[in-house]
Every structure is written in C-alpha cells, then in structure tokens.
Chains A and B, each alone.
Chain A
Amino acid sequence: NAGVTQTPKFQVLKTGQSMTLQCAQDMNHNSMYWYRQDPGMGLRLIYYSASEGTTDKGEVPNGYNVSRLNKREFSLRLESAAPSQTSVYFCAGDRGVGYTFGSGTRLTVV
C-alpha cells in the first residue's frame, strides 16, 4: 500500500520545455489535488479533481493543465515551462480526514 506516489522526484527543465508530473493513488480517493509549495508561502492549489473525469482550477492554474483519466491517476502538465514554475509540487488525495500527500516533485526551470 504505497498511498500516493509521484514521479519523478526531481526534474530540471529548460525554459519552454514541456513535461508531465505523474501521480497515482491506491487508496480509492475520489478527490485528488495538485499543489505547489514555495518558500515562505503556504501550499497553493493548482488544480483539483473531485471525481474521475472532472477537473477544476484552483488558486494558481495558469501555465498548467491536468488530466484525470481514471480514478487512480491525476497528472499535471507544464506545456511551456517558465522559471516562475520552479517549485516543489505535491499531489494529494482526500482521505475524508485531511489529505494524503505524495512525497513531492522538486522542479527547477532554468
């Protein structure tokens, strides 16, 4: 039982490159979330998915897209990476009593 698994753990991108951050959960969560964590700021919601096949924007969605193809997987895509997207990204599932977070992806855009 791995909980919420994120890949990759680390990534360096050049400005303008694209990539997809993967997230998979084995806890049967309906709702899943993508957050970014920056120094001195609380976790900020990028996108969320209340159920399979549905997605909604969060607080900071610009420059990102998401896909919830099935209940287990919720991916985050950066189409054209910018230095402002350098951050640590966390995927989470709603366990009904708070969230279960993945271990994070540390992304650097140069």
Chain B
Amino acid sequence: GESVGLHLPTLSVQEGDNSIINCAYSNSASDYFIWYKQESGKGPQFIIDIRSNMDKRQGQRVTVLLNKTVKHLSLQIAATQPGDSAVYFCAEIGGYQKVTFGTGTKLQVIP
C-alpha cells in the first residue's frame, strides 16, 4: 500500500507475473478515482479511472477494483513487462473537485 514515509513502498515482480498495487483512500465521499503511472524523470500519466458507482473497470492489461466499504482501491497489471516499471499512485476526487494524490508505490519488474 501507499505510505507517508520518506521511502516509497516497493513491489518487485517477475516479468510475466501479475502485479497488484494497493491504495487506501481517506474520503468516503470521494466519487471518482484515477490511477497514474510515473516513470523516472517524467510527469504522471493517466492509466485508468473508476467512478464510485462501479466496483471494477478493465483496460488493456490493467484492472482497477474499488471497495468502498473499506475505502480501498487496487490496480492489477496482467503479464507485467519491464516497461511497467514506474511509480504508481492513486488520486481521489471528492467534493468541489478536490483532488488528493497518494504517495505512490514503486513497481520493479525483474527480467
């Protein structure tokens, strides 16, 4: 999961395996969530989003799951590739379009 500490939590995954990255959000009134990918030296890049009236959404090789009961969001990456190595963080959007970003999880793909 994400951390407020100085060091990002790191998930190491073998190439070809599935990755699951978790995010705990804080505001039960948030109604829209986004996962971003940030490669080293680059800006965050939109991956996938989900609205609070859904519990699952699939994209190409990625799936986002939303559990509103425990305020938990996860990003699943199928058949992880070296190009997936990056920091992943979630964003929650609540009232007045207030956006809160998580601190991120570093995904390392082992060739």
Contact = CB atoms under 8 A, between A and B. Distances in A.
A103 B42 contact: yes
Contact of B7 (A40, A43, A97): A40
Interface string A35-61: 000011111010000000000000000
Contacts, number: 45
Contacts of A97: 34, 46, 49
B45 interface: yes
Q: How large is the interface on A (under 10, 10 to 19, 20 to 34, 35 or more residues)?
A: 10 to 19
B73 to A, nearest CB: 14
Interface stretch (B11-19, B63-71, B78-86, B97-105): B97-105
B49 A98 contact: yes
A35 B8 CA distance: 19
A45 B91 CA distance: 13
Q: Is the interface of B mostly helix, strand, loop or mixed?
A: loop
B46 A43 contact: no
A46 to B, nearest CB: 13
A41 B34 contact: no
A41 B46 contact: no
A90 B43 contact: yes
A104 B100 CA distance: 19
Contacts of B41: 103-104
B101 A101 contact: no
B99 A45 contact: yes
A78 B43 CA distance: 21
Nearest to A91: B43
Interface of A: 4, 39-43, 45, 90, 92, 95, 97-104
Given A41-B4, A41-B103, A101-B43, 8 more contacts: A42-B104, A43-B101, A97-B34, A97-B49, A98-B34, A99-B46, A101-B44, A103-B41
22 contacts: A4-B43, A39-B6, A40-B3, A40-B4, A40-B5, A40-B6, A40-B7, A40-B8, A41-B103, A42-B102, A43-B44, A43-B101, A45-B99, A90-B44, A92-B43, A95-B46, A97-B34, A98-B34, A98-B91, A100-B46, A101-B43, A101-B44
